[in-house]
Structure 1
């Protein structure tokens, strides 16, 4: 008997997201649609809807569904938005973003992951995602400004280029803290005078954001 991924996906949304307070309908609909098992290596597919992070290629991880949901909900993405993601990884969060936003631009520094994610996302029919191999701490100036920026790696501070590439009124969600330790999720909102307002969410643990304006 094969695994009923559809049933597991419904269960994950109800038990891991809804019961923990995720109530943004666009976010929940995205999680119902995107097949997380597609973004995991063959030997890990059975854990696709487990309540935790899972290993993917190149020693990296795919984040716990609940934490991804918290980050997406905090961004308050609208259907017309343009979103920048830092740290493509397997492409799972990019797919979720693409179900909500109009345009998704995602940067990955590890070539193996960037290539795999781009191929998979195309195969799954996503036409509103662009993948770039590069330094995420510097953002992607070509398509700026962005209404939302999701950073799926931990930084010692918020890189200035990301703030510069954010629209007025836009939000960045980023884990900030020490390398390889527990960090704090921060929501950065760019105000009309160019200043930023920061709000703290929960404690998390992410792989480090490696780049010129982050961890070396």
Structure 2
């Protein structure tokens, strides 16, 4: 689905501005940092800036103000390649300071990050990685083993891995690890639905250790086979060999009942609704992180109390590829 390219004055009705809406809701304005007394006409760019390096230093990139749900300072992308909203904060159009603008922090792009440790340090700098445990695990599981050879491994962007699938951007992996950290303690059980390259599955395995159990489920057999090879190169290789980490071909929407219940469940693609089988396989006291929605998606955190009651809250707005059947995914490949 292509982005409608529109040059539009901000003085036009906002309903008209919604036409410039990619599935990722990547709406950008470029605003001059020098305030002038006379009112200036500002127009939307005809395409999203491909990288932050292409945005002039004298501009501020911000999101349109009629989408308040996306103004959360922790708004993050998912693993959809159309998403370019790699920004930590946003300024509302109606709250811009009268004579100056504040430059917004952005997640990095380009190939300047040379090592896995540098990548983790960047995530710490931006406040995405906040715990020692998550930083240690991400440093130990080198992302370079899990992306195609011709791709810079430490860029903060989703990467295609074939079969209409992607590996998520590093900041989303870090976000999910932080959300699930308390449910990935040594000896606990975790399920990774849509395990893809096996990266996050390997991270889970290091967190729960050899006394724990981690299961990855992916419905593309070729991805399961390649993910096993990826993990064999990583620090999680002994856990795969010993059997505390395993990957299986299956429909992740049905979970993996054989090893249930799980303390932690992660879903790496957007469901139209939360699959009941996954709620059933969540252990009392456990937590699931799952993106839900179509064009508008939210990363939902599902907590099951000790009495079996379930509470759900939205963590942030995201954009992920859809959680669908194997046939539907391959049909568009």
TM above 0.5, one fold? yes
Alignment correspondent of 1:122: 232
Q: Which has the higher helix share?
A: 1
Contact 2:299 2:316 in 1 (8 A): yes
List gaps (5 residues or longer) in structure 1: none
Pair 1:10-2:125 in alignment: no
1:143-182 matches, within 5 Å, as: 143-178=259-294, 181-182=295-296
Give the TM-score, by structure 1 length.
Answer: 0.88
What is the aligned partner in structure 2 of residue 140 from structure 1?
Answer: 256
Which of the numbers 72, 84, 99 marks the counterpart of 2:177? Answer: 72
1:176-216 Cα offsets, whole Å, 9 max, x none, are 111xx34110110001222111121111111111149xx9x
Distance, in Å, in 1 between the alignment partners of 2:125 and 2:314 is 21
Scaled by the length of structure 2, what TM-score is found?
Answer: 0.58
Secondary structure of 1:84's counterpart equals: strand
Is 2:153 the partner of 1:48?
Answer: yes
The structure having more radius of gyration, on CA atoms, is: 2
2-side partners of 1:185 and 1:198: how far apart?
10
**2:217 maps to 1:99:** no
1:211 and 1:192 mapped to 2: Cα distance?
32
Runs of 4+ off more than 2 Å: 16-22
- Tell me, yes or no, if structure 1 residue 113 matches structure 2 residue 202: no
Q: Deviations over 1:113-158 (max 9, x none)?
A: 0111123323432323111101000000111011100101110111
Q: Does the CA-based 8 Å contact 1:16-1:51 persist in structure 2?
A: no
RMSD: 2.1
Matched with 2:195 is 88
Q: Which residue of 1 aligns with 2:60?
A: none
| Matched position secondary structure for 1:10 | helix
User: Which deviates the most, 20-29 or 135-144?
Assistant: 20-29
Contact 1:175/1:204 (8 A) holds in 2: yes
Q: Measure the CA separation in 2 of the matches of 1:118 and 1:10.
A: 23
- Count of matched residue pairs: 206
Task: Assess, with a 3 A threshold, how the Cα gap between structure 1 residues 172 and 56 changes in structure 2: closer, same or farther.
Answer: same
- How many angstroms does 1:18 deviate by? 4.2
1:202 aligns with 2:309: no
